[in-house]
Amino acid sequence: MLNNPFCYTPSPAIVEAARDLTARIDATPALRELFAEGKMLGVLEVEPPDQVGGDASVMPGSDRASRFLYAFSGLAGGSAFVEGFVPPVFAWTREDIQAASPEDSRRLQDWLFEQYIVANGRGERRSIRQIFADRGLVPPGGTGDCAAPKLLNYALQHGLTPLAIGEFWYGASPAREVRHAGAFYPACTGKCGPLLKWMMQGLAVAPNPLESDAHWSIAEPVVRYEDADLLVAEKPAGMLAVPGRPVPGVPPRRSLQDWLSTYCGQAVSACHRLDMDTSGLMVFAKTAQAHATVQQQFEKREVTKAYLAQVGPGPRALESGARGKISLPLAPDWYDRPRQLADPQHGKPAVTEYEVLQTLSDGSALLRLIPHTGRTHQLRVHCAHPAGLNRPIIGDRLYGGIPAVRLMLHASYLSFRHPEDGHRLFFQSDIYFPELQSSDQ
């Protein structure tokens, strides 16, 4: 069964193939030059053609008996064709554009996406423009040029059975995105989301764990405080904080808000948010007045919050007791939600204080993080970005963290004024990544 490209841990075979490809590029000056800018590369393991009566000559590269296909996203050194990599879905030329002679850029893009014909596991073929149009969408520029659709399309067009897929970064991290050399990343949601879902129809593909309550092993929430106005509870990693948007054909996920409403026998509302991947303390209101009062404290930054995080090894040294501040403006990556970009020009201010609590023998470190702003994925980006700590949080599937049983980020401290009488409430969570087994802890 093919792993789901939107949430996966790369198989050992894919990891080894990625290392082999990286070594080949490093050892070949011409390839090093082509990919010097930094590039997302893809690996697809397929059933060896000679084992299924296929034609081994369809495998690009000198090793015709190989069971791996390779691809790169976009262009490499301005070229869509590089020996040893699968070809693009469609390679247009200036002559093609002149012959098409569309009247404006919108018509030109429509024409181009009509030429991008892809296959799916049912043997059907359809243009990218039509695939998106069927869902009431317009494909963003560059759709179909990412590594994953190139790989799947080539395999399906040549009768090869996909077994495992992975996309990883080669080279230096770009200035805005968080990409770490050698780290694996999920397929993007904007360009590849609708496209890959159509292409995978008819294939045996693992379900996306992010679309079910099977995402990590979700424990039961723990209620830490309750009165007539408030509830404070610890959210398990992998549980939604509030109900998500309905997805046709996908059963609704349970959220902490739903769970607490059932627990106390009345509707409650979240006064703030935590990422699904993050565990820890949250406050919920039982009345509209309590909700407005506490939420206003969050908006005015009168609430004190702190998080515990474990970051993996990295190039930046972190000494126990070290403190610092990260100021890195953030903006949404509209083509790959919910990822965020570091954007000094258009991003909103985001400030995080950090303290190194402990360094571990495996090169990882335990941190206390105090956000002074509340941007989406702020702590994750500030830890992972080269202009931040350059040390992704372990288990961070979006920003290059070492694969783990969960995201090692926990909301451990919360303090705010009670909405009724104004006295200060303090909450401290002593639970710290119980899933992680380490002698250093």
Q: Can you tell me the distance from the alpha carbon of 162 to that of 151, in angstroms, rounded to the nearest whole number?
A: 9
Contact 395, 407 (CB under 8 A): yes
**Bond before 338 cis per omega within 30 degrees:** yes
Name, in order, each residue with C-beta under 8 angstroms of 385's C-beta and a sequence gap of 6 or more.
173, 178, 328, 342
Return the structure tokens found at 239. 């549980």
Angle at 114 between CA 112 and CA 119, to 5 degrees: 120
Q: What is each CA distance from 289 to 112, 228, 286, 418, 419, in whole angstroms?
A: 54, 12, 9, 11, 8
Distances (CA, A) of 151 to 26, 156, 164, 165, 419: 22, 9, 11, 9, 56
How open is the CA angle 203-207-208, to the nearest 5 degrees? 125
* Marked catalytic residue, from 104, 134, 213, 275: 275
Structure tokens given for 22: 């990286």
Helix (H) or strand (E) holding 204: none
H helices of 300-359, where?
A: none
> What is the rounded CA–CA span in Å between residue 26 and residue 171?
10
- Look up 275 and say whether it is catalytic: yes
How would you classify the pairing of strands 279-285 and 409-417? parallel
CA distance 256 to 119: 40
Look at residue 41 and give its three-state secondary structure.
Answer: strand
| 88: nearest Cα among 100, 101, 76, 96 | 76
User: What does residue 393 show for φ and ψ, rounded to 5 degrees?
Assistant: -65, 135
How many CB atoms neighbour CB 304 within 10 A?
A: 13
- The closest of 397, 416, 438, 396 to 281, measured between CA atoms, is 416
Radius of gyration for the chain, computed over Cα atoms and rounded to the nearest angstrom: 24
Taking CA atoms, 392 is separated from 315, 327, 386, in Å, by 11, 16, 10
Q: Is 113 helix (H, G, I), strand (E, B) or coil?
A: helix
Q: Where are the alpha helices (DSSP H) in 45-139?
A: 94-100, 105-115, 128-133
Other residues' Cβ atoms within 10 Å of the Cβ of residue 386 = 17
Q: Give the active site residues.
A: 275
